[in-house]
Structure 1
Amino acid sequence: MSKPVRSPGGFPVVGIIGGGQLARMCAGPAAELGLTLSVLAEAADASAALVIPSAPVGQHTDLEAVLALAEHCDVVTFDHEHVPADILAALVATGVPVHPRPEALVFAQDKIAMRERLTALDVPCPAWAVARTPAEVEAFGAEVGWPIIAKTPRGGYDGKGVLVAGSAGDLTQWLAHEGTAETGLLLEERVPFVRELAALVARSPSGQAAAWPIVETVQTDGICTEVLAPAPALTGGEAAAATHIALRIAGALDVTGVLAVELFELADGRVVVNELAMRPHNSGHWSMDGAVTGQFEQHLRAVLDLPLGDPSPHERWTVMANVLGGEDEELYSSYRHVMARDPGAKVHLYGKGVRPGRKIGHVNVSGDDLASLRERAGHAAAYIQGKVRE
């Protein structure tokens, strides 16, 4: 592949494995910081490849392609968590700094490993078990009560790889899968939560950490459709406790870069950890326009071990609404209406192919009136999606 063109002044090249929207949204902050990005994109028209000049085409499972990318980079990070362990080991062996490190990334790749490690750290989690047989499923359901939550250990997201099971019979196909005998299924109690929260932090290799406000995430059919920053009606003590959990996890797991900790809030204000993501995350998209330092700039700072930026919010509230794909593949024509109706709305589209239910962008609005912000962000997202036409 051709060597990335470095910025003048000795600024580093950051390699990103994966050409999705998270890599794409690093482009603006990288340019402002004087950095050069090089992404290993799945296709020439991948989201990040459309805006980042150095975008060789290759798969994250292709060792030769991964090492060719790393050869011209000063540090390598990830758009997603799916790079195989042997590829990661070979990448580390080149001597190029890799963030997050594979020893930490495994806890975002493997949900069973994550539960084992968090339990050892005494981090609050749902009751859980690993099952390989119907009898083990039945025993867990009898212990914690039906229904239960079943998860594939690797690869699930946006509700995929997750099943609410009312009996062991609901998991017959999953248990019959050839990989289940080796890894097992992760079973969890169905937590009686009142809402979902997320704690987003960043940590650098030298150990500096920064945390954004705790946010509320609103899910529709297993997909996050709205984020409220900060989470309404969360006391200072509750917010501090949730932030402490995220910072403790980041330190104990030696996470470098951005870490998202998805949380369930219980009726008494306590939280339990649902899942981890070691990369910029949907729950932090609000920070692009709503915080002094957004998550994409912060991630770049962290993986380069630069001093971290201020994560404080600009306004009292910021609402992020996800734009999901609809039937109309042409999106640009919606801009005029959205911009004219609400000049304060910040629209971010990802350059992805449109299909129903797929996350193709988001809208951020900030201000003092939370109800108004939710209406504004929701209308803009719905209009772009084609759900409303007024």
Structure 2
Amino acid sequence: MSGAILATERATARVAGDVVGGAVPRLGILGGGQLAKMLVQAAAQLGCRTVCVEMERDCPAGLLTPVEVVPGWDAAEEVARVLEALEVVTLENEFIPERTLALLASRGHRVLPGPATMERIRDKFLQKSTLAAAGLPVPAFAAVENPEELVARGREWGWPLVLKARCHGYDGKGNATVHGPEDVRPAWQRLGGDRGRALYVEAFCPFERELAVIVTRGRDGRCAVYPVVETCQKDHICHHVVAPAQVPPARAARAAELARAAVESVGGIGSFGVELFLGPDGGVWINELAPRVHNSGHYTIEACECSQFENHVRAVLGWPLGSTRMRTPAAAMVNLLGRRHGSGRVRGLEQALAMPGVHVHIYGKTRCAPGRKMGHVTALGATPDEALARALAAAQVLDFGDVQP
């Protein structure tokens, strides 16, 4: 779509919205990956028009909505130009530079989550500091500027430790578990500390289970809290999610309350993913939060009365939030991770679709790589074990890529 055509479409949509009192709301989304795609689907259901901004047109969201291409997220003026007619702008990732978000806000866009919230969350050390200042339980943490400081923390807190990149780390790409002094320099180099990348360290938190909660907070401060789920992580990548988590009600209530408080502490608006640890003694600690719709909440599309994606759209547009109640006794979500390099072609789809109680989501990525999220499967069931077994069976027959590099 040419710039002139898109500009005309923007102007027409704005006038139409004004004429009918905003009956044609338009939403700008920074990012065009699978999260943006599912936001677009939810927005369309509510009659919204969307435009995504990405660095390439060939992205999952491009299957459903116009995509405006920019040279990079730091090209603030260009991002602002392509979104000039959109009042509300949201984002599918936390990597948009502060300057770009601030420029959009200064031009009159309602950016949600806002620049101040993103500033508190993007840097994970600042995120932990914000949570700790709010009196919320987090593992011990500290900034480290050299390997020697990391060794000193190991002597103080004991091994292992978790070394993390302060910014731009996700799906395990910015984490390293350090088991002893001999692991310090390799971990430091792998995460880029020797090249000037800012790192911090956390005490290892012994846990019995990893939990997650989606919290949607509206413009008016009201929150919709989804059921507490259990996540299974391998190599810092989520492999599956089971809802609801099979933990004592008091522990689930504690996790839900901490998740709500965490989102409130950063002034979040929209759907946020909050990851937590459940300790063997029943204690609950906050691991981290993501200022966006989250992988641990994909099950909500089929399993809840209002999905995390629909509630995010409702929240940023200032609409009432929907119910988070589950429509089924149990649900499970399994991520479809790439096993090889190759095309994004999916195999085994017909076999998976023939399985009862299974819902397949293929993101439409054109290239596959090991560990890359290519889709997910959600299954419903009478029990968590039944739902997980169905989802795993469907995921087992689905594969991506081919023999070409």
Residues 37, 64 of structure 2: 8 Å contact kept = yes
The CA distance in 1 between the partners of 2:288 and 2:133, in whole Å, is 16
C-alpha distance in 1 between matches for 2:348 and 2:356? 14
- Match among 277, 287, 297 for residue 300 of structure 2: 287
1:16-59 deviations in Å (ceiling 9; x for gaps): 0111110011122111100001100221111111221x211113
For residues 79 and 188 of structure 2, what CA distance do their matches in structure 1 show?
A: 37
1:93 and 1:230, CA in 2 relative to 1: closer, same or farther beyond 3 A?
A: same
- The answer for unaligned runs of 5 or more in structure 2 is none
Q: Distance in 1 between matches of 2:117 and 2:281?
A: 31
Alignment of 1:97-176 (within 5 A): 97-165=110-178, 166-167=180-181, 168-173=184-189, 174=191, 176=193
The offset of 1:275, in angstroms, is 1.1
Give the Cα separation in 2 of the matches to 1:36 and 1:97: 16
Contact 1:41/1:49 (<8 A) preserved: no
CA–CA distance in 2 between the matches of 1:175 and 1:81?
A: 20
Q: Quick check: 1:56 aligned with 2:68?
A: yes
Q: Which residue of 2 aligns with 1:224?
A: 238
TM-score (norm: length of structure 2): 0.90
Aligned partner of residue 69 in structure 2, secondary structure: coil
Contact 2:277 2:284 in 1 (8 A): yes
CA contact (8 A) 2:211 2:228 kept: yes
Matched residues in 2 for 1:386 and 1:46: separation? 16
Distance in 1, Cα, partners of 2:316 & 2:118: 14
Q: Which amino acid aligns with 2:224?
A: A
Q: Is the counterpart of residue 365 in structure 1 residue 382 in structure 2?
A: no
Amino acid at match of 1:199: V
Structure 1 runs not aligned, ≥5 long:
none
* SS at structure 1 position matched to 2:51: strand
Q: Deviations over 1:39-91 (max 9, x none)?
A: 00221111111221x21111322212210232121200001001111111111
Deviates most, 354-363 or 300-309: 354-363
How do residues 366-381 of structure 1 correspond to structure 2 at under 5 angstroms? 366-381=380-395
TM-superposition CA deviations, 1:262-300 (whole Å, max 9, x none): 111101221111111010000000001100000111110
Give the match for residue 229 of structure 2.
215
Q: Is the 8 A contact 2:343 2:400 kept in 1?
A: no
Per the alignment, in what secondary structure is the counterpart of residue 268 of structure 2?
coil
Kept after mapping to 2: 8 A contact 1:110/1:154: yes
Find the partner of 1:346 among 351, 359, 362.
Answer: 359
Distance of 2:195 and 2:373 partners within structure 1: 31
User: Is the contact between residue 108 and residue 114 of structure 1 (CA under 8 Å) also seen in structure 2?
Assistant: yes
2:397 equivalent to 1:383: yes
Paired with 2:323 and 2:138, the residues of 1 have a C-alpha distance of 30
Secondary structure of 2:368's match? coil
Over residues 166-214 of structure 1, what are the superposed CA-to-partner deviations in whole Å (9 max), with x where a residue is unaligned? 223344525753434xx4x211111111111001100011111100000
1:35 maps onto 2:52 in alignment: no
Q: Give SS of 2:395's match.
A: helix
The answer to whether the Cα contact below 8 Å between 1:200 and 1:258 also exists between their aligned partners in 2 is yes
| CA shift in 2, pair 1:187/1:206, >3 Å | same
8 Å Cα contact 1:41/1:48 also seen in 2: no
Deviation at residue 344 of structure 1 after TM alignment? 2.0
The match for 1:179 among 163, 182, 196 is 196
Distance in 1 separating the partners of 2:38 and 2:187: 38
In the alignment, the residues of structure 2 paired with residue 56 and residue 267 of structure 1 have an alpha-carbon distance, to the nearest angstrom, of 48
Give the aligned partner of residue 194 of structure 1.
Answer: 208
Q: 1:248 aligned to 261, 281, 284, which one? A: 261
Partner of 1:316: 329
- Tell me the SS of whatever aligns to 1:123: coil
Task: Label 1:27 to 1:386 Cα distance change in 2 as closer, same or farther (>3 A).
Answer: closer
Normalised to the residue count of structure 1, the TM-score between the two structures is 0.93
Q: Does 1:204 align with 2:218?
A: yes
Q: Could you tell me whether the CA contact under 8 Å between 2:379 and 2:391 is conserved in 1?
A: yes
Partners of 2:360 and 2:251 in 1: CA distance:
31
Q: CA deviation at 1:330?
A: 6.0
Distance in 1 of aligned mates of 2:262 and 2:25? 29
Which deviations, in whole Å up to 9, do the C-alpha atoms of 1:215-238 show, x marking residues without a partner?
A: 001012221010001111x12211
SS of 1:25's equivalent? Answer: helix
Deviations 1:96-117 (A, max 9, x none): 1010011111232101101111
Cα distance between partner residues in 2 of 1:125 and 1:286 = 26
- Rounded to whole Å, the distance in 2 between the matches of 1:339 and 1:201 is 31
136-145 or 282-291: bigger deviation: 136-145
The corresponding residue for 1:300 is: 313
Count of aligned pairs: 381
Q: Structure 1 pair 88/254, CA: closer, same or farther in 2 (3 Å)? A: same
CA distance in 1, matches of 2:140, 2:343: 43
